[in-house]
Each structure stands twice: as C-alpha cells, then as structure tokens.
Structure 1
Amino acid sequence: MGWDAWITLAVIAAMVVALVSERVAPTVAVTTAVVVLYLVDVVDFDGAFGGLSNAAPVTVAALYVIAGAAEQTGALARGLDGVLGARRPASERRAVWRVSRVAAGGSAFVPNTPLVALMVPSIEQWSRRHGFSSSRVLMPLSYAAVLGGVITILGTSTNLVVNGFLDAAGEEPFGVFSITPVGLPVALAGVAVLVLLSPLLLPRRSTPGDQLGSGREYTIEMVVTAGGGLAGASVADAGFAELDGLSLAAVDRLGQVVAPDADVRLEPGDHLLFTGPIDRIHDLEKVDGLVTTHEELSAPTGPDRSHMFEAVVADTGPLAGHTLKQLGFHERHGATVLAIHRAGDPARGPIGDVVLRGGDVLVLVAEDGFRDRIRDLPDFLVVAPMEASAPVRRPGGRIVQLVVLALLLATGSGLVDLTPASIAGAWALVVTRVVSPTEAVRSVNFNVIALVAMSFGLGAAAAESGLAERFAEVLVDLGDPLGHVGVLVGVMAATLVLTELLSNNAAAALMFPVAAAISTETGTDLRSLALGVLVMASCSFLSPIGYQTNTMVWSIGGYRFSDFTRVGVPLTAVVFATTALVIPLAYPLAT
C-alpha cells in the first residue's frame, strides 16, 4: 500500500474510535475525516465534496418533506390505531406481530427514521391502554422498520447512497422496486424472528413512560367564559352529570373554593375542578362556554401549534415542594398545566395551589419546541406526548396520500426517476399549502443530509488512495475458493462489521469502492455486490448506535446496551443467511 492508503486507513481508524466512544456525532466525525483527507491531498476537491451535488442527499431531503407533510396532516397517523387493533393482543407475540407488520410495511414507502419517530408516541399509548410495557415492542418496532427499509429503494437514506454510487460508477441505478425480490424475503424472515424470539430474549424493562397513563384519575381544571352557554347557569343545568367518567369536584371563584352544589350559579372566570381520566378532557372542550386554562392564558395569534404532554415531576428537581403559582410555571416553561395526577393521594384544590411532589404527573399544553427547551433541565423525569397531542390537523392529508401514490406509480413504472419525482412531490405539497416553506425546512433532518453528502467523500478517498483496492484483494483471497458466492459473502461480512462500528451511510460509502474493485478483478456483477452492501449496511441490529431508529428507542424503552445484542445476534444471522441465499436467485452474480 502507498502512503495515501496508509493515511486514509489511519484517518478512518481515528474516525471509528471517535464514533465508538460516542463522544462525537456521526456527521461531525465523517465530515472531519473527509476534510482532513482533502487537506493532506489524499482526495481532490471534487472527490471530497462531490456528494453535495449528488442526487442522493437532494432525494433524501425531498422524501423528508413528504414524510413531514404526512405527519403534519395526520395522513399516516390516521388509522394507525385501527391497523394496530383496538382489542388487546392475546399475547406478547401478537403484540410484536401487530407492531412489526405496521412498521415494516410503512417503512417500505416512507423513510424509516421519521416513521419510527411518528409511531413511538402512538405505540407507547397503545401499549399502556392495553396494559403492557412499551419496552416489549419498541425494539421490535425499530428492527421491523429497519427490515422494511430494504423492501424498496425509498426506505432508507443508505439505499439512496448506494444508488448514488451506482449512478456515479456508470451503472444503472436501482428502481423503486428493483430491490424488492431480495428485500421482501429478508424482511419477512426478520419479522418472523422478532415475533418468535423477541418475547423470549428481550428482558423485561420498566420504561420511563410506564409511569404515565391516560387511565388514571386526574384533577382537571377548566374555565367558564363570558358569553358562553354556562355563564349564569346553575351546576344542575350545566349538564355535567352527562359527562361519562367525569365529576365536578369544586368551583374556584377568585381564589375561594366553592362546593359544587346543584343550585350554585356559574360566573365568567370561574375555574371548575373536575376529576376523571385525562382522555375525557375532549368531552369538556366540547361544552359551550368552557375552555382550558391554556386557552384562557394564550391569546390567538395564528394557527394553533400547541401539543399536549404528560410529564413526571423529578424528586430532586426544582419543581418538587413548590406550587405552580410560586414557580411562575407558565412563564418559566412556556407551558400550561391542564391536569395533575398523584398516585394514592389525589391532588385537591386549585391546580395552581397544589404543592408538587416527585412522581406527580402533569398534563401540559405547550407550543412547538417545548421538549427541546426542557430537555437539559432537571425538572422532569420524562416528558411524553399524549395520544391527543398532535396539533389541530389541517386539510391536506388526502393530497399527501395522492402525492405518495403518484410517486410510487411514476417511479415504479419507470416513467420518472426517483429524484425528480421526489422533488416534484415535495414542491407540490408546498405549492398547495399542505405545508408551509418553514414547515418543509423543519421536517428535513439536516444531520442525515450532511452525513449522506459527506459519505461520498469518504468513499472517494478510499477509492483514490488505493485502500479500497487493497481491501478488495484481501476479500477476494478469502472468498475466491467459493467463487462468486464466496466473494458476495465476504463483501457482506465486511459491511456488517463496518456498519456496527460506523454509521450505516459511512459503511456503505467505504464498502462500495471495495465492491467496485472486486467486481473489476473477479467479474462479479457490481449490482449484486452493491445490493449486498445495501442490505447489510442498513440492517444494523447488534447495538443501539448502529442505526438511528435503534438509538431513538434506546432510552425511551429503558433498554440496556446488551439488550440489543441479545435480540440482534439471531436476527442478524437470519438476515445475513437470507440475503446470501436470495441475491444469487434474484440477480446474476457473474457479469
């Protein structure tokens, strides 16, 4: 190997150490490696930064806009409960099956990272509603979404990275459904492993969200408005007795608590204290002349972007031992407390005067960005969106569904390439005002976009320095006794190791030049090798840091690092074996 290859190897080794230490974000690590290799003249400017002009990051960004529009309008969330099933699963395997089929099927057509982010809150609520911990299904949710991501080219950014490398190498890129003959059997085999083995291998963990629940009894505070149907009416005539599961506990009038006797007449500004399950709050919102405390405090300045959250008060945080009024909670957090739950000892009196305790569950209404603002504060143990937490859904869900359908038909039939079709779909959603330009930009994960773009520089450095060619020679020597199949298995195994150490996009970027060199030397079909790289780079199951969706459910599910390995080892073995068996059947290995 020449000096350039040794330098490239050293830089990549340093990048691996940085990533394994988890002290450096993948985007920063990969970008730094590419910049260093450019500055020491291992790779030229076009090679290092050519990914910025590649179609892959643009396509990924456009797909994020479409996925964001689906979330904003509820086009994906609508019917999710119906697909999961309203009845309680008969067993944990049934629960895993329900979640896995939805995640795998959805991620075939929607990028799996935003899909999992969208599904996690619903899955948590669905689990609690049926009386089992979400830790039993959150890891299968992530793994199934990863598996579904290899069914079509739309499922992961890694698929598009490999497609971009194929295009740059002068090969025909994969169409939307070109990888389905391989990806579908892999996904089915993987889901079968999850259904059969995850209930046995996955330890029982208690999630932070297990402390939350809509079936508990809360103290809920509402406000009587002037000019509404309640002002001047008696408690008996207000119709509260008809509200299922709710009871009026007290009336707070200018700081004086009044017993809710039948003949008490309600006045504008009265704060009514109800007790009951929080999911009945929507029944209260339908009562003419009754609003939440959030609506009372918040002047209407534009479209409603408020969300509802449940938050568990931390024992040692600054909230415990104080009332909401003393804390100036609304001004402090930009959020309004609608209700409070206290296990074993219901909170009594006006919510603002209740002395908070560690473990109290608050129902909050807050604007966009609330969780980002409080993420590093010690006030709460956990903050989780509620089932009804989405902002008011705007019309446009049908347009999103039509755009996705048109995208699939146009690209699947070969009439339009994926990149222009994705851009046209995203543009159509902005032009039709389904999403605003600002919302479109917010829906794009620019860390992923940057990582995709810079991954091409990493691949170019490996190719231009000669490192990829040398690595290819080693793999050929090991796999050559078994012919083209041995070479394919070698490429897949190397990709598997790299994707567990690096990000999936970085692993694909490093292995594609190796696959190209092997194809030239052995005559093995490059598209077949690229497909092996695509599947194994995407299917990372051995650690929580190998794939974004794994990291996403790691803390939410209360998992330990080793939990991913326990389930991931047999899943990886089955996925690897299935891929190695199916690729030679679907694609010719010899050119």
Structure 2
Amino acid sequence: MGWEAWLTLATIVAAVVVMAKDWLAPAPTLLGGVVVLLVSGVIDTEQALSGFSNPAPMTVAALFVVARAVEKTGALQPLVSSMLQDDGRARRALGRLLVPVAGSSAVLNNTPIVAMLVPQVSAWATRRGRSPAEFLMPLSFAAILGGLITVLGTSTNLVISGLLEAEGFDPIGVFEITKIGLPVAAVGVGALVLLAPRLLRTRAPARGDLETNVREFVVDMEVVTNGPVDGVTVEEGGLRHLAGVFLVQVRRGDDLIGPVGPTLVLRGGDRLRFVGRADEVIDLQSTRGLASAEQEHITLDTGRSAFFEAVVGASSPLVGKTLREAQFRGRYQAAVVAIHRAGMRVEGKLGEVRVRVGDTLLVLADPGFRSRWYDRNDFLLVSPLEAITPVGTRAALGVAAVLVAIIATATTGLFTLLEASLLGAFVLILGKVLTPGEARRSVDLDVVLLIAAAFGLGRAASESGLAGTLADGLVDGLGGLGIYGALAGLMLATVVLTELVSNAAAAAIMFPIAVTAAAEIGHDPRGFAIAIAVAASASFLSPIGYQTNTMVYGPGGYRFFDYARLGAPLTAIVLATTVVLEPVFW
C-alpha cells in the first residue's frame, strides 16, 4: 500500500477509537477525519465535499420532517390502538405489536415511531402486570428490521443508494431492496416472537423505581412561622446547596412556585418540596426553621408539575458532565429525582454524577417540559410517567396522503426520491401541519452531517487504494468459499464496525471494499452494496449501536449484555438469510 492508503487506514482506525470511546460525537469525528485527508492531499476538495452534493443527506432531512408530521398528528394512532389489545399469551401479544411496527418503519424513520410507542407500550404492559422489558427491546429490533423493507426505511439505505449513484450506478429504487429486505424482516420478526420470551429476563424499569419508592425521592417540609428561615431568601436560608436534596417547589396557599430561584423570600407556612434520596437528607434534617410536612400519601402530579423519563443520547450536551456542571435546573427548569443506568439506580449525590449515553433521568418539571425538549438533541426520548395517548387529528389524513404521494411519485419515476421528499416536506409546512420551527427542530443535524462526512471517508478509502487492498485480502482469504464466503466476510466486518461507530459510517467505509470485491469475483456490485446496507442496519448487539436501542435501554430497565442475549442470535439469522438470498436476486 502507498502512504495514502496507510494514512487513510490510520484515520479510519483513529475515528473508530474516538467514537467507540465516546470522546467525541460521530459527526465531528468523521468531519475531522475528512479534513485530515483533504489537507494531506489524499482526496481533493470535490471528493471531500461529495457528500454535501449527494441527494442522500437532504433526502434524510426531508424524511425527518415527514416523520415528525406523522407523529404530531397522530396518524399512526389507530394502528397503535389496534396493537395494544388484551391478550393472555406473550408471543401473540408480541406478534400483534411487532408486525405493524416493522411495517410502519418500512416507510418512516423508526426513531419517532419508537419514541411514540415506548410510553404507551410501557403503560400497557404495567397495567397488565407484565414487565416492559418483555416488549421494548423487541420493539426497537422490529423497527430496525422494518427499515430494511424499502429504501425509505433507514438513512443507511439512502447512504448506499447515494454511494451507488456517485459511482455511476442507478440509485436504489423505492422497492428494489424489498426483495431481500422483506424476507429478512419477516424471518427476523418471527425469530423475535419465538426467542424474546425465552431469552429476555424480567427487569424493573426506571419509572417503576419512582412509582414504588416515591417517598425516597420526594420530601416535604414546612417553614416554621417566626423561625430562622421565615422572611429570608432561599440562598440566605442555606437551602440552595444542600448535600442530599434540592428545593424544586414552594406551595404558598393556593399558589405553586417553581422552579425556585435563590432570591425567593420564604414565609412562615410555606410548604417546600425537595427531591433527593431520603437516606441523604442530613443537611435538610438539621436545618433550623423547617418542620416535617410529610403526609401519608404523596401525589406525583399536582397539575402544575409532573414526572418524566428523559433518555440521554450520544449527541446530548449533558454527556460527560455532572448535573451541577450542566446547570440542569436552570437550563431545563426541572429537577432530576434519580438517574438509572444499566437497569440500576445510580447511588450517590446526583449533582456530582457524570451523565453517560443511555442514562435515564427521572425528572420533576412543569407539564410543558416534554413539548420544550422532546424534539431536541438534549434527549433521545422524553415521556411522561403517566402515558398520554396521542389523539389523531384531521390533519392526519392529509399527512398520510402526502406520504403515499411521496412513495408513489418516487416509485413511478415522476420525481426522484429527493424531489418527492422535499416537495412533501414543503407541502406539510405550507399546509401549517408543522411550523417552520418545528420542521427545523425535527431534522437531526448530527445525522445529516454524519452522512455527508461519511461520503468523504468512503471516497478516501477508494481513491487511496485502501479499499482495493482490503478487497484483495478478503477475496484471497475467503475466495475458496465463493460468493457466499466473500459476502459473509463483508457482512461480518460491517456488523462489527456498525457497533463501534454508526451505521451510516460503517456503510460508507465498507461500500468501496464491497464493490471492489464483487468486481474481482465477477459478481454484481449492486447486490453486495445492498447486503452492506442490511448488515450496517443490523445493530442488535448493544444499547449504543443504534438510537432506538438507546431509547429503550432505561425504560426497559435492561442491562448492557441483555442486548447481546437476544441480539446475537437475531444478527446470525439476519446475516445467514441475506447471504443465502443475495446471490439468488443478483
């Protein structure tokens, strides 16, 4: 290999390490790698920026807007209601849930689908005396499998389609991938229905901890009239920086004050609500001028406040910071009652705990907390403790019509997929289904930038000769097994890579290797490329490999290796099915 190939390999390895260690988010990591390769002369400006001129990133952005409109209008709610019916048998209930989820994910981004279903499925399972863990991981996996059915299903499919187009091939048709994606999804969903009840263990969800142990978290005190705290501010009374708990609300007669600022003057008879651990309230108990106001029952929702689950994603500004460093109370106008990580409550002073990807925060806030934060990068999922069933609106039919029009016009060739998606998003904004602000916030800019940067990295692998060298090694090592051996090797490498980085990055890195390997053994490169799309989406082995897996991590109360317990056999089934079917169709 020349120095260009060695530098490209070193850059890719460095990017994988940085992302695997969570030192930096995927988008800036890949952008930085592309900049290094551009400055060093491995690729030129046009190649480095090829992703930004490719249809894939903008198509993904437009489809984010469409998916947000579906979620907002409750267009899928009739389908959801039909899923969540009483059924005494676990496998039948799973089948009723997973088949429609996979079907919906075939044409919609799976992240909003899972976000909409997590609170409803959790509440439904709890009401029937079942653990949400029985359903939430299969829900995420089914949404991923459904994304394989059409090119619209996942951003990975669109990345591969864009890469094919950049290499001079036709883009993937809307239903071209269906001939392999539909059988894979059907076999995968069937495997989930059969295996999940056997392999998944009952876990206690994060919200169950709050419902069961609410008195450990919420402490009510009353200001003693004419006592040391009567007539002084919160700061002066020493209630601003307590070791074990912090003040979130003050009830004064019929008025509820919250969040509580440091300059609020306390009055005798005020009822103060603190949150924290009951075994860590030494500072509170020793504060003169406060008396216990505990009642036998503590109401979670007063009408002016509510509890929420908030799941932290990889792009959240909270990652790596303590709640105190992030100024959580001031920024979010909310208080964290507890932090759940890997199925267990994190012990210690909450203000000093560093937040990690996948953490579930139990938050006390005003009822508007979800509407302010659910479509921002701060949290992957924000759901109220008391699940509220979305109500379908009249606009839902219009949104469904727009979605059908996008599929129909792209399938018939009247418009390209990019044109159809952009036109559909514009119609939804023009029709006031979404405001321009809602449309802007619905687009995950990190995903769009990640896809664009991944194209530059893929071009570097191709132009430097790295892809050719790796393809030669793959063919030499597995050539004796023919097409099946080469395809299995490519897909295994892609699965490992997608768990370490992201599915879009894994697809872009493996694409030139797959195309070169296919050419060397005389096979259709298109089939190998689509197989790479399947493998890059097959992220079932960890809670951090795919967004929807992270979203259900805390709400399901899962441990890290619970994913591999169900995900490993599912991955093997998906890969084996693809390896068998791909040579049949290409």
| TM-score w.r.t. length of structure 1 | 0.73
Deviates more, 1:151-160 or 1:484-493: 484-493
- Give the drift of 1:48: 1.5
* CA radius of gyration, larger in: 1
Map 1:238-257; keep pairs closer than 5 Å: none
Q: 2:573 — aligned with what?
A: 574
Q: 1:189 — aligned with what?
A: 187
Deviates more, 1:98-107 or 1:161-170: 98-107
- Consecutive unaligned residues of structure 2, counting only runs of 5 or more, are 215-242, 262-291, 311-327, 340-361, 364-382
Deviates more, 1:94-103 or 1:201-210: 94-103
- Give the drift of 1:581: 1.0
Q: 1:374 to 1:96 in 2, by over 3 A?
A: farther
Kept in 1, the 8 Å contact 2:487–2:528? The answer is: yes
User: How far apart are the structure 2 equivalents of 1:364 and 1:41?
Assistant: 61
Q: 1:479 to 1:112 in 2, by over 3 A?
A: same
Q: 1:436 to 1:394 in 2, by over 3 A?
A: farther
User: What is the SS of the residue equivalent to 1:556?
Assistant: coil
User: What is the SS of the residue equivalent to 2:301?
Assistant: strand
Q: 1:520 to 1:539 in 2, by over 3 A?
A: same
Q: 1:44 — aligned with what?
A: 44
Q: 1:362 — aligned with what?
A: 301
Q: 2:526 — aligned with what?
A: 527
User: How far apart are the structure 2 equivalents of 1:519 and 1:406?
Assistant: 35
Q: CA RMSD in A?
A: 3.2
Map 1:302-381; keep pairs closer than 5 Å: 316-319=244-247, 323-325=250-252, 329-332=257-260, 355=294, 361-362=300-301, 373-374=331-332, 377-380=335-338
Map 1:184-333; keep pairs closer than 5 Å: 184-211=182-209, 316-319=244-247, 323-325=250-252, 329-332=257-260
1:129 aligns with 2:132: no
Deviates more, 1:32-41 or 1:426-435: 32-41
User: What is the SS of the residue equivalent to 1:46?
Assistant: helix
- Give the drift of 1:103: 1.7
User: How far apart are the structure 2 equivalents of 1:392 and 1:148?
Assistant: 24
Q: 1:167 to 1:354 in 2, by over 3 A?
A: farther
User: What is the SS of the residue equivalent to 1:378?
Assistant: strand
Q: 2:396 — aligned with what?
A: 397
User: How far apart are the structure 2 equivalents of 1:102 and 1:324?
Assistant: 46
User: What is the SS of the residue equivalent to 1:496?
Assistant: helix
User: How far apart are the structure 1 equivalents of 2:396 and 2:141?
Assistant: 27
Kept in 1, the 8 Å contact 2:494–2:510? The answer is: yes
Q: 1:107 — aligned with what?
A: 105
Deviations 1:87-141 (A, max 9, x none): 2x21322232222112211101101122212221222222222221211111101
User: How far apart are the structure 2 equivalents of 1:92 and 1:375?
Assistant: 40
1:116 aligns with 2:44: no
Kept in 2, the 8 Å contact 1:317–1:379? The answer is: no
- Give the drift of 1:13: 1.2
Q: Which amino acid aligns with 1:479?
A: L
Deviations 1:357-388 (A, max 9, x none): 99863365679x99695498434552432566
User: What is the SS of the residue equivalent to 2:258?
Assistant: helix
Q: 2:280 — aligned with what?
A: none
Q: 1:586 — aligned with what?
A: 585
- Give the drift of 1:4: 1.2
- Give the drift of 1:163: 0.3
Q: 1:502 to 1:388 in 2, by over 3 A?
A: closer
User: How far apart are the structure 2 equivalents of 1:539 and 1:445?
Assistant: 21
User: What is the SS of the residue equivalent to 1:318?
Assistant: strand
Q: Which amino acid aligns with 2:136?
A: L
Q: Which amino acid aligns with 1:120?
A: V
Q: 1:91 to 1:522 in 2, by over 3 A?
A: same
User: How far apart are the structure 1 equivalents of 2:137 and 2:94?
Assistant: 10
Kept in 2, the 8 Å contact 1:128–1:213? The answer is: no
Deviations 1:322-349 (A, max 9, x none): 754499643449xxxxxxxxxxxxxxxx
User: How far apart are the structure 1 equivalents of 2:338 and 2:563?
Assistant: 27
Q: Which amino acid aligns with 1:10?
A: A
- Give the drift of 1:555: 2.0
Q: Which amino acid aligns with 2:460?
A: A
Q: Which amino acid aligns with 1:193?
A: A
Q: 2:471 — aligned with what?
A: 472
- Consecutive unaligned residues of structure 1, counting only runs of 5 or more, are 217-314, 334-352
Q: 1:339 — aligned with what?
A: none
Q: Which amino acid aligns with 1:189?
A: V
Q: 1:103 to 1:81 in 2, by over 3 A?
A: closer
Q: Which amino acid aligns with 1:149?
A: G
1:3 aligns with 2:3: yes
Kept in 1, the 8 Å contact 2:402–2:424? The answer is: yes
